[in-house]
Amino acid sequence: MDRLDAMTVLLGVVEGGSLSAASRHLRMPLATVSRKVSELESHLGAQLFTRTNRRIQLTEAGRSYVEAAREILARVEEAERVAAGEYTAVRGDLMMTAPIVFGRLHVLPVVVDFLKANPEVNMRLSLGDRLVNLTEDHIDVALRIGNLPDSNLIATRLGTIRRVVYASPGYIAGRGAPVDPRALAEHDCITFEGLMSNRTWSFVDGTGEIAAPIRSRLAVNTAEAAVDAAVAGLGLTRVLSYQAARAVAGGQLVPLLETFEHPALPVQLVYLPQGHVPMKLRAFVDFAAPRLRAVLK
């Protein structure tokens, strides 16, 4: 039995939550995944988890072994990086994640330029608005918008982004512009699921928090769709400032209620703390940070 291979399969099961999820992620037949886990349990003489129809539950022995397996595999990976020269030269693979719209508009061009300048680096850029776990998803570096929930991450600050209400000039001409958040109940709104509620929008003034009721005429699941609907004159929308920047620059949208906005959200490049930062990661952060700061001015 290849114990490192068995550990990798076991972690795939734990992180995926089931044998079938590990099978899909590892691109390995389900029967093979099950066999490797069973062989590992037989070798250890201990049951690592209990199986149900949908999920697996680690036993006490399983929790201890998984923690040790993660550390062992991380050390093996680091040793391989050292042997491959990743700490002395800009080479190897980088995995990055970023929000969809910001990533497409601003991160992707930086990644392209970085790869052109560093021919021995390969990158995978995953765009998504879901907050991923850097350890579980094997992410080297992430662009995060908002306050960091995990203070252990190493962060490089890039700037700030605002959350703004917008409407088209045509909509404002026909319906007027709200001068107070409480007036939003009289307007048609376009809500972006995941970023905001479709019942109330939150603002601040000198007295504190304002929970302003809204009427959502349209709910969409991407910021681009919300912006497009607002440009078309359907109603007001609220998105992050960079998501509407082109429409604002083109005169298609106008910012509203700016004096009632919450404090701007920080934008940062983050990565996990590690004893020796690979050259490829340090080179990318040094390359990307000034370029991304420029677009956030």
The answer to whether residues 171 and 251 touch, using CB atoms and an 8 Å cutoff, is no
Range of the domain at 57: 3-84
191/237 same-domain check = yes
Q: Does 100 share its domain with 123?
A: yes
Tokens of 128: 């998504």
Burial state string for 120-156 with b = 16 or more CB within 10 A and e = fewer than 16 = ebebebebebeeeebeeeebbbbbbbeeeeeeebeeb
Q: Which of 82, 101, 72, 96 is nearest to 5 (CA)?
A: 72
pLDDT band at 191 (very low <50, low <70, confident <90, very high): very high
Q: Which residues in 159-172 are b (16+ Cβ under 10 Å) and which e?
A: bebebbbbbbeebb
What confidence tier does 217 reach under pLDDT thresholds 50, 70, 90?
very high
Strand pairing report for 254-256 and 163-167:
antiparallel
> Does 204 share its domain with 118?
no
Are residues 107 and 80 located together in one domain of the fold?
no
Over residues 22-38, the mean pLDDT reads 88
- Do both 58 and 100 map to the same domain? no
- Average pLDDT for residues 93-99, to the nearest whole number? 94
Residue appearing with tokens 């699941």: 221
Q: Considering 31, 61, 84, which residue would you say is the last residue of a domain?
A: 84
Closest CA to 172 of 88, 241, 231: 231
Last residue of a domain, one of 84, 110, 135: 84
Tell me, yes or no, whether 143 and 96 share the same domain.
yes
Whether 142 and 193 share a structural domain = no
- The number of folded domains in the chain is 3
pLDDT of residue 85: 64
- Domain stop point among 67, 84, 101: 84
Residues 103 and 222 both lie in one domain: no
pLDDT band at 87 (very low <50, low <70, confident <90, very high): low
Sign of the alpha-carbon dihedral angle for 260, 221, 272, 295: negative
Give the model's confidence band at 96: pLDDT under 50 very low, under 70 low, under 90 confident, else very high: very high
Q: How far is residue 56's CA from residue 136's CA, in Å, rounded to a whole number? A: 16
